[in-house]
Amino acid sequence: MDCFVITGGNRLRGQVTIKGSKNAALPIMAASILTEGETVLKGVPELADVEHLSFILEKLGVAVMRDEQRNIRLKVEDEMNCLAEYELVRKMRASVCVMGPLLAKRRYARVSLPGGCNIGDRPIGLHLQGMEALGGETELVSGDIHVKAKRLKGAEIFMGGPFGSTVLGTANVMMAACLAEGTTVIESAACEPEVVDLADYLNACGAGITGHGTPRITIEGVKSLHGCEYTVIPDRIESGTFMVAAAITNGDVKLANCRLDHLLAVVDRLRAIGVNVERDGDGAQISSSRHLEPVSVTTQPYPGFPTDLQAQFMALLSLAGGNSIVTEKIFPDRFVHVAELNRMGARLRKEGPTVIVEGVKQLVGAPVMASDLRASAALVMAGLCAKGQTKIARVYHIDRGYEHIEERLTALGADIKRLPE
């Protein structure tokens, strides 16, 4: 198991290229189950989660390989196996997105209840509700979800939940509906760019999807889908993380391959804090003044502020000159990073789904432990600006969502090393 050792205080300068979106690539890879022929995906990052899903797909009869250009090539070679077993699925929640494609193409899916980061309760009842509306029969047996159907038929499906729309649930139902008979309408659909990217990929394969990017998605079922060549969108969460890295170190960094139109809520909060964000060609230039203003941040479904950047912004606001308020409305228990940031001298007080952030002049390096993917990123951000040395244990979490982050930060001037614990 590796750790990061960071000596803080270096200003980040230079350019970094944002990788393809993890949260878009994973459902698109799963959607290859639906297709005949080969799919070539460009821009898929080299991450632990991508490796995990590749292994699951191979067990399900999909050939997966990286070519010389680092593209991922997928082709269904065997449709006999419909089981995504626990030992494979437990490592990441996104593996549940094989359910919809398996049901639509093979008429049966057996998927273990998924694992992933410890960020609070994330039930999949809406996924099952959608499968049942399309004609699937669902049953939970010994921790495995069994879904079967003789045929799928289009339906009107409401996908709203207590904390907003479900991204993976929308993806799962949309994929299943592509091969259903007739028309499916998903109401209260997730509007995230990753859902739009999945729909664009499916349409490139011959699907009939309209309305993606709005709360009402319409899918006209087709008899079959073919493979295609497709480029995954840039990762908006990685973009936001590097923006925070530039801001927290008082740096000056250009992000190439960055879609600012996917980050309007994030850019709004950064500018309110005192961070300069300027469009620059296909990317953005990020710089910061030495004085950071306190702000309020509330996570919401897209196009609101993303929950996956809440922890990183909390690290940044720890240095603002006053009191900030961070409220989590997607995963109310997603605050495991609070105790670790406090170990580094932050002054954070949790009150229900809200954290009061009292700004300090400086963070101090300390041994801390990563508990999930985005909390890991927040600790890296804190370590970059902290006085002295920070040791972050269990960084395998960060490898799930950031490709070689220590090498890319080093290229910008950070003092960060990966070492065996």
pLDDT band for 123, please (50, 70, 90 cuts). low
pLDDT at 225: 98
Last residue of a domain, one of 187, 206, 231: 231
Find the domain containing 127 and state its range: 22-231
Catalytic (active site) residue 117: yes
Please compute Rg for the chain using Cα positions: 21
The arithmetic mean of pLDDT across residues 252-266, rounded, is 98
Does the pLDDT at position 119 exceed 70?
A: no
Q: How many domains does the structure of the chain reveal?
A: 2
Does the pLDDT at position 120 exceed 60?
A: no
Q: Say whether both 250 and 318 belong to one domain.
A: yes
Alpha carbons 238 and 6: distance in angstroms, whole number: 19
Does the pLDDT at position 289 exceed 80?
A: no
Q: Say whether both 179 and 256 belong to one domain.
A: no
**Residues of the chain above pLDDT 90, percent:** 88
pLDDT at 116: 45
Q: Say whether both 66 and 13 belong to one domain.
A: no
pLDDT at 162: 79
pLDDT band for 115, please (50, 70, 90 cuts). low
Q: Say whether both 368 and 405 belong to one domain.
A: yes
Q: Say whether both 154 and 126 belong to one domain.
A: yes
pLDDT at 121: 43
pLDDT at 65: 97
Does the pLDDT at position 105 exceed 50?
A: yes
Does the pLDDT at position 122 exceed 50?
A: no
Q: Which one of 117, 178, 258, 385 is the catalytic residue? A: 117
Q: Say whether both 68 and 102 belong to one domain.
A: yes
pLDDT at 183: 98
Does the pLDDT at position 118 exceed 50?
A: no
Q: Say whether both 122 and 200 belong to one domain.
A: yes
| 3-class DSSP string for the chain | CEEEEEECCCCCEEEEECCECHHHHHHHHHHHHHEECEEEEECCCCCHHHHHHHHHHHHCCEEEEECCCCCEEEEECCCCCCEECHHHHCCCHHHHHHHHHHHHHHCEEEEECCCCCCCCCCCCHHHHHHHHHCCCEEEEECCEEEEECCCCECCEEECEECCEECHHHHHHHHHHHCCCECEEEEECCCCCHHHHHHHHHHHHCCCEEECECECEEEEECCCCEECCEEECCECHHHHHHHHHHHHHCCCEEEEECCCHHHCHHHHHHHHHHCEEEEEECCEEEEEECCCCCCCEEEECCCCCECHHHHHHHHHHHCCCCCEEEEECCCCCCCCCHHHHHHHCCCEEEEECCEEEEECCCCCECCEEECCCHHHHHHHHHHHHHCECEEEEECHHHHHHCCCCHHHHHHHCCCEEEEEEC
pLDDT at 113: 80
pLDDT at 125: 87
Global model pTM greater than 0.75: yes
> Tens digit of pLDDT for each residue in 162-214?
777 899 999 999 999 999 999 999 999 999 999 999 999 999 999 999 999 99
Q: Say whether both 360 and 308 belong to one domain.
A: yes
Q: Say whether both 106 and 83 belong to one domain.
A: yes
Q: Say whether both 194 and 251 belong to one domain.
A: no
The arithmetic mean of pLDDT across residues 389-404, rounded, is 95
Last residue of a domain, one of 167, 198, 231: 231
Q: Say whether both 239 and 226 belong to one domain.
A: no
Range with lowest mean pLDDT among 65-74, 88-97, 114-123, 410-419: 114-123
CATH of the domain at 81: 3.65.10.10
Last residue of a domain, one of 231, 248, 277: 231
The arithmetic mean of pLDDT across residues 34-43, rounded, is 98
Range with lowest mean pLDDT among 30-34, 121-125, 323-327, 328-332: 121-125
Q: Say whether both 250 and 376 belong to one domain.
A: yes
